[in-house]
Amino acid sequence: MGKTQGWTMKKRNNTIAIAVPASMVAEIKDLREKTSVLGQLGRAAAIYRVDQIIIYRDEPDESMTMKYILGYLETPQYLRKERFDVRPELQYVGILPPLRTPHHPTEDRLSEVDVGDFRDGVVVGGSGFNYEVDIGLDKLITVRGKPPAKGTRVTVEIMDTEPEFSGRSVKNKNVPYYWGYDLRGSNRLLSELVYSPEWDMTIATSKKGDEFSSVMNDMESKWVEAGKTLIVFGSYKEGVIEMIASEGRKAREVFDYIINTIPDQGVETVRTEEAVISTLAILNIFND
């Protein structure tokens, strides 16, 4: 690990995914407010080291807006112009909060980085078994290997800064600390998404669920052992239990746990982004 990234937080030993409905911001008419809400969601995911945000199908479908805004937020600032064209969905991205995650460095000069640092970049060209990557510095880095397509986003570990500025391409799973979230859409039924061998542990959040304190000890033992955990949140108009019931299934048969992380709530409904923040904060007490 390089000196400039000594502050970073290690990644989790297990993989955490959260699933939110495609209708999450549908009730919000103003695009600026939609952008703000999605900024809160992305920021919460980053704070609690969520590896993946899944947008599952639900009407009204706002998945395209969600993907663009959440994807823009996750992308390092120096790559955004390269990765995103001007689109109406991105009109208010200037109000998004900075993530300040390990893959959003502020250094922009070669003299400010060190061997062992990791940075995301885009392939700008190459031939043979060398290609150049823009990693947001005042000099392109040379990476050895078969060149990916121009414009491909890659993660690079800096191997040498002089006499040649060079590095190697690495997979995100091999970066030793938290490296942001992936985005994924799902057109499957919610029950099919959840009841899948992909997950070792599945959690639904609901005001009709068990109080967290009553299942905490049992959940913690399973949490530590689980390789991949999925946490599902309902929509503004329908809870997870009701969604599963509409598909002809019983939530208790689909999920390992159904928990209420905001008992005795003082408002009639809790917004999805509020439920995400509350739930991830509570589950963060578990060691992984």
**What pLDDT does 5 receive?**
54
Structure tokens at 21: 């409905």
Q: How far apart are CA 120 and CA 134, in angstroms?
A: 8
- pLDDT of 56 > 70? The answer is yes
Distances (CA, A) of 14 to 26, 55, 157, 183, 228: 32, 20, 23, 18, 6
The answer, yes or no, to whether the previous bond of 176 is cis (omega within 30 of 0) is: no
Q: Which of 110, 116, 115, 159 is nearest to 135 (CA)?
A: 110
Instruction: Provide mean pLDDT across the span 203-212.
Output: 96
Strand partners, 141: 133
pLDDT value at position 1? 47
Residue boundaries of the structural domains of the chain: 3-101+178-283, 110-174
Cα distance from N-terminal residue to C-terminal residue, the chain: 22
Topology given in CATH for the domain delimited by 3-101+178-283: Alpha/beta knot (3.40.1280)
How many C-beta neighbours within 10 Å does residue 91 have?
Answer: 11
What does the block give as tokens for 90?
């991105």
How confident is the model over 72-80, as a mean pLDDT? 97
Q: What is the mean pLDDT of residues 25-46?
A: 98
Amino acid letter, residue 114: D
pLDDT tens readout for residues 179-199: 999 999 999 999 999 999 999
> How do residues 79-123 score in pLDDT, each as one tens digit?
999 999 999 999 999 999 999 999 999 999 999 999 999 999 999
pLDDT at 269: 86
pLDDT greater at residue 22 or residue 267: 22
Band of pLDDT at residue 8, cut at 50, 70 and 90: low
CA of residue 191 relative to chain centroid, distance: 22
Give yes or no for a contact between 138 and 111, defined as CB atoms under 8 angstroms apart. Answer: no
249 close to 202: Cβ distance less than 8 angstroms = no
Strand ranges of the sheet holding 182-186, from the earlier edge strand across to the other edge: 182-186, 52-56, 15-21, 228-232, 201-211, 257-260
What does residue 158 show for φ and ψ, rounded to 5 degrees?
-75, 125
* Each residue's pLDDT tens digit, 214-272: 999 999 999 999 999 999 999 988 999 999 999 999 999 999 999 999 998 998 889 99
Q: In this model, does residue 136 exceed pLDDT 60?
A: yes
Element (H, E) at 269: none
Pick the CATH number of 110-174 from 3.40.50.300, 3.10.20.30, 3.30.930.10, 2.40.50.140: 2.40.50.140
- How much is the mean pLDDT over the chain? 94
Question: Which carries the bigger pLDDT value, residue 6 or residue 46?
Answer: 46
Per-residue pLDDT, averaged over 53-62, amounts to: 97
* Residue-level pLDDT at 288: 67
2: nearest Cα among 130, 137, 133, 126: 137
The dihedral of CA 184, 185, 187, 192: what is its sign?
positive
On the question of pLDDT at 10 being above 90, the answer is no
Segment 147-174 shows an average pLDDT of 95
Are 3-101+178-283 and 110-174 in the same CATH fold?
A: no
What is d(CA 253, CA 228) in angstroms, rounded to the nearest whole number?
A: 19
pLDDT of residue 7: 58
Strand partners, 202: 230
Nearest alpha carbon to residue 47 among 287, 221, 283: 283
